[in-house]
């Protein structure tokens, strides 16, 4: 089974780094779609105390537990540092949707044995009909 299918098929816990209260932003869309599909989301953004009725954490280090995966909603310029942080905190998976990854971040993931998912959007995956999940990489 693909790691992507494993993560979306049953409820998991995701940390969304760069989540936003602005409903027009990608970080909010990630939060909304993941929660609507039954996943637990731990929002991460030092600008906010809450997203909807959910506590928002200032950093990955402040999370109450290690998530099943970290999803990036930040710029590619910050991706390498995010990968380093995930590896240092023993996060198992870093998912970098298109527009949030960098070659340097992917290399850090390889060097530190951090499972990296990139070039595919979790929102897109979750909006696919379930029978199409068998086609996921």
Domains of the chain: 3-129 (3.40.50.720)
Q: Residue 1: pLDDT above 90?
A: no
Q: What is the pLDDT of residues 76-92, one digit of tens each?
A: 999 999 999 999 999 99
Q: Residue 7: pLDDT above 80?
A: yes
pLDDT at 130: 79
- Residue 11 tokens, joined: 């409820």
Q: What is the pLDDT of residues 26-76, one digit of tens each?
A: 999 999 999 999 999 999 999 999 999 999 999 999 999 999 999 999 999
On whether the CB atoms of residues 84 and 90 are closer than 8 A, the answer is no
- Residue 67 tokens, joined: 């998530």
Of the candidates 62, 67, 65, the residue with the CA atom closest to the CA atom of residue 91: 67
Distance CA 102, CA 55 (A): 29
How far is C-alpha 47 from the chain's CA centre?
18
Q: How confident is the model at residue 133 (pLDDT cuts 50, 70, 90)?
A: confident
Q: Which DSSP state fits 57?
A: B
| CA-CA-CA-CA torsion sign (77, 125, 23, 32) | negative
């Amino acid at each position: 089974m693909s790691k992507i299918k494993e993560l979306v098929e049953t409820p998991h816990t995701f940390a969304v780094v760069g989540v936003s209260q602005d409903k027009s932003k990608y970080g909010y869309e990630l939060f909304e779609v993941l929660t609507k599909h039954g996943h637990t989301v731990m929002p991460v953004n030092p600008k906010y105390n809450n997203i909807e009725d959910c506590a928002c954490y200032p950093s990955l280090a402040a999370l109450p537990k290690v998530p099943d995966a970290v999803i990036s909603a930040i710029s590619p310029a910050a991706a390498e540092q995010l990968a380093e942080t995930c590896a240092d905190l023993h996060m198992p998976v870093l998912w970098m949707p298109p527009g949030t990854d960098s070659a340097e971040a992917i290399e850090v993931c390889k060097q530190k044995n951090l499972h990296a998912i990139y070039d595919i959007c979790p929102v897109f995956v979750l909006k696919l009909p379930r029978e199409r999940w068998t086609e996921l990489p």
